Chain A
C-alpha cells in the first residue's frame, strides 16, 4: 500500500509539474534581451500596469493591435463550425503573429529602425486558411453535428475541468485554447502548448478521432 501511495504521489507530481514550472522567463515569449525591446522588460511587450488599453480580453494591453479585418479563414467541406474573423484573445496573438504590426510596436518602447516583425513559423500572416480555425463557437451542438468532437460541456480537458471550462473563452475556441502564452520555460510543453501533445494528447482532447 505504501508503494502504491508513493506511485500515486509521483504520478500526481508529474501531472502538476507543468503548472509548477509555468513561467514566461526564458520562454519563447521572453523578449527581454531582444535588440528591438529597448526596455529590457518581459511583460511590457504586451502589458502595462497603468493606462493600458481597456479591452475585454486584453488585460492592461500594451502592444499595438493589428488593424487587419479581412483574414482568410479556414474552410473545409466537412467543417461544421462557423468560423468568422478572429476575435477575443486571438486578436491579441495576431497583433504580432499576422506580421502586420512590428514586434517593437508597444507602449514605452524606444525607436527601433528598422521595425522587426515575426518570421518563420511564428509568422502566420493574414492568410489563416492553412491554420487551425479559431474564434468559433464550440458547443455540444457542434460536437453532435460534427460527430468527431467531444462535447465540451462534459468532456474533460485533462487540466482539471471540462474543455469548456479550461480551454474555451466565452464558449469559443481561440489561440489560447491550445497555447499558454506565458508558459514556455524549459521543461514545459513545446510551442507554448497548454499541455503536452505527446501521443497527440492535446489534439485528441477535443477531436474524437
Chain B
C-alpha cells in the first residue's frame, strides 16, 4: 500500500519545483496568483499555441497590441531603443494593459477571468504604454555600445542566466516568464546588485559605500526600499535598487525611485539608515538648497557650470563611487570620490583630486553664484582667483599660506597647514565629517562669525568668544587679544573700536590680479562703507615687515593718515 502511494505522489507532472505552474503566470483557473481565468485549466495557451501561432516564434498565441509606446530616454544613454520588438512585444501583450488577459488567438471568444479582471489591473505589473519610466528594451547591445557607454560590459562578457536576444536587450534578458526563481520572474538575484551587474559596470562601484555598506533601516517610515524583497536588509543587499527602480520608476530620468532628485538620497540619509542625518542639515536656514531645483541637473553637464545653475546632492557626490575613505587637505575624501571639478588652473577635471575643485564647479566665476558677502576695496567672488597660490594672501585652501608667522594658530594648525573649504563652511555641529549641507549660520559657516559693523563704536560688535567663534576655532582668542601678532588687535576688537574681524580681513584671499603683497598681505582688504578714506584721501594698508605696517583710513571715528605700528 505504501509504495502505491509513493508511486502516485511521484506521478510526473504533479510536482513542480520551480515551474510556471506554481507561478503567477499560471493564469488558469487553478493558478496561484491573483489573476485567474474563470474556467480554463490550460496554462500554456494563454501565451502559446502549437499550431497557427503569431508571431511564429515562440509559437505565440496573443495579439500584437499595435500601439506606439513612449520610450525611455536619457541624456547619457548611448543605446538607441526603438519601439519594442522581439519577445518584449509578447510580454507587453499583457503588461501594457491594453489587451484582455484572456484574449487568445486560438480561441474565438475572450476567456473570462475571475473578479471581473479583463486587462492587467493597475499596479507595478502594468507598465502601460508609457515606457518612459522603464528600463529600455529592444536596443542593440553590441561592442560599439559598450565602448561608447564606457560603463557597460562587452556583450561577450554577459553570461547566463542573463542573455541577449539577437544581440538585443529584451524583457527576457532579465526575466524568465516561466520560472519565478527570483521575485518578479527575474533570472538572477537582484540582491547585491547581482542582476544589474551582469551588464552594468559602474566606475568605482565595487569600492563604493552604496555597494558595501551593511547599514540597515531602523524601521522609521518612509521605507527606503519599497520595491525590494524583505530579505534585502542592508544597503549593499538592496544595491542598485536602493535608488533605482527599473519599472514604473518615480522619475523620468535615471529610473530613480523619486522624481525629486534629493528624495532618492534623503530617505536613507535622514538618520533612518545612514549614520548622519543630512536631511536635517538641509532644513536649516543657510544651505545648499537642493530642494529648489528639479530636472535641471544632468550627469553629462559641464564640470564648471555657467548656465542652468543649480545644486543637487549628485553635484558634489557620486552615489556610485562615494566611499568612506578619509583624506588630508587638500585631497578629496571618499565622500567626493568620482565627482567632477575645476582645478586651480581653471581646467575641468572628470574626477576631483582636491576637495576645493568641487566647490569651484559653481563658485569660480559662475554667473548666479553668491556675490561677495562684504563690499570691499577689492571686489572678488571668484574662489579660484581668491585662493590662487600666487596671491599676496589667502586662507591656505589650495596651497600653504603666504604668512610664515601666524602665532595665533591653535595646534595642530600651523603656518604650513592646508585647510578645506569645509574647515569653515560646514553644518553647525557637523563635527568630524564637516560638509556644507546646511547651517544655522549665514554662508553655511560651521560656527558663528558676526560681521555687524555700522561704522561707529556704538554700531560695532561686542567681542566675545562666541561672536567670532569661527575665527577663534583656529586662531587663539587669547593670542589675538594679547596682541601677539598685530599690536592693536585688542584695541580694535574690544570696547574702544568694536570692529569685527571681517571689517579688516577678507577671509578667502586677495587676488594677485587686483592686490599686491605690499597692500594686501595678512588678508587685509577693508570693508568699504565702514572703512573710509583718511583725511588725506587714501584708503589702504601698507605692510612694513612682520607685525609692522601703516594704515591710511577713517574708521569708527578715527582718522589714520597714516597710523604706523
Contact = CB atoms under 8 A, between A and B. Distances in A.
B52 A205 contact: no
A156 B28 contact: no
A8 B6 CA distance: 13
A201 interface: yes
Which 8 pairs between the two chains have the least Cβ-Cβ distance? A76-B57, A200-B43, A209-B178, A132-B50, A156-B12, A130-B56, A200-B44, A198-B41
A199 interface: yes
Main secondary structure of the interface of B (DSSP, over half): loop
Contact of B57 (A8, A75, A198, A200): A75
Given A4-B1, A199-B43, A209-B178, A77 B165 contact: yes
Interface in A155-209: 155-158, 178, 197-201, 203-205, 207-209
Interface stretch (B13-21, B264-272, B491-499): B13-21
Interface string B169-189: 000000000110000000000
A75 B179 CA distance: 23
A130 B58 contact: no
A201 B559 CA distance: 104
Interface centre among A77, A129, A156 (most CB of B within 10 A): A77
A203 B21 CA distance: 12
Nearest to B52: A130
A205 B12 contact: yes
B254 interface: no
B59 A132 contact: yes
Main secondary structure of the interface of A (DSSP, over half): loop
Interface string A2-23: 0010001001000000000000
A209 B19 contact: yes
Nearest to B41: A198
A148 interface: yes
A204 to B, nearest CB: 6
Interface in A89-119: none
B54 interface: yes
B51 A121 contact: yes
B53 interface: yes
A148 B52 contact: no
Given A129-B56, A158-B13, A199-B30, A124 B8 contact: no
Interface in A123-165: 124, 129-132, 148, 155-158
B50 A178 contact: yes
A132 to B, nearest CB: 4
A78 interface: yes
Contacts of A157: 12
Nearest to A196: B41
Interface residues of A, number: 33
Given A121-B51, A204-B13, A209-B20, 20 more contacts: A8-B4, A75-B57, A76-B57, A121-B52, A131-B53, A132-B50, A132-B51, A132-B59, A156-B11, A158-B13, A197-B42, A198-B41, A199-B21, A199-B42, A200-B21, A200-B44, A203-B43, A204-B21, A208-B19, A209-B19
Nearest to B168: A77
B45 interface: yes
Nearest to A195: B13
B166 interface: yes
B42 to A, nearest CB: 5
Interface in B32-66: 41-45, 48, 50-59
Given A204-B13, A205-B12, A130 B53 contact: yes
Interface in A47-65: none
Interface residues of B, number: 32
Contacts of A209: 19-20, 44, 178-179
A76 B178 CA distance: 17
Interface in B59-107: 59
Contacts of B58: 76, 78
Interface of B: 1, 4, 8, 11-13, 16, 19-21, 28, 30, 41-45, 48, 50-59, 165-166, 178-179
A201 B28 CA distance: 12
29 contacts: A1-B1, A74-B56, A74-B57, A75-B57, A76-B57, A77-B165, A77-B166, A79-B57, A130-B54, A130-B55, A130-B56, A131-B51, A131-B52, A131-B53, A155-B12, A156-B12, A157-B12, A197-B42, A198-B41, A199-B21, A199-B28, A199-B41, A199-B43, A200-B42, A203-B43, A204-B19, A204-B43, A208-B19, A209-B20
Nearest to A133: B59
A178 B50 CA distance: 10
B166 to A, nearest CB: 6
Contacts of A11: 8
Contacts of A76: 56-58
A24 B50 CA distance: 23
Given A155-B12, A209-B178, A130 B59 contact: yes
Contacts of A205: 12-13
A112 B268 CA distance: 82
A196 B178 CA distance: 21
Contacts of B42: 197-200
Nearest to A120: B52
B13 A201 contact: yes
A171 B512 CA distance: 90
Contacts of B45: 200
Contacts of B179: 209
A96 to B, nearest CB: 14
B179 to A, nearest CB: 7
Contacts of A75: 56-57
Contacts of B165: 77-78
Given A129-B56, A199-B28, A201-B13, A124 B51 contact: yes
A78 B53 CA distance: 16
A157 B11 CA distance: 10
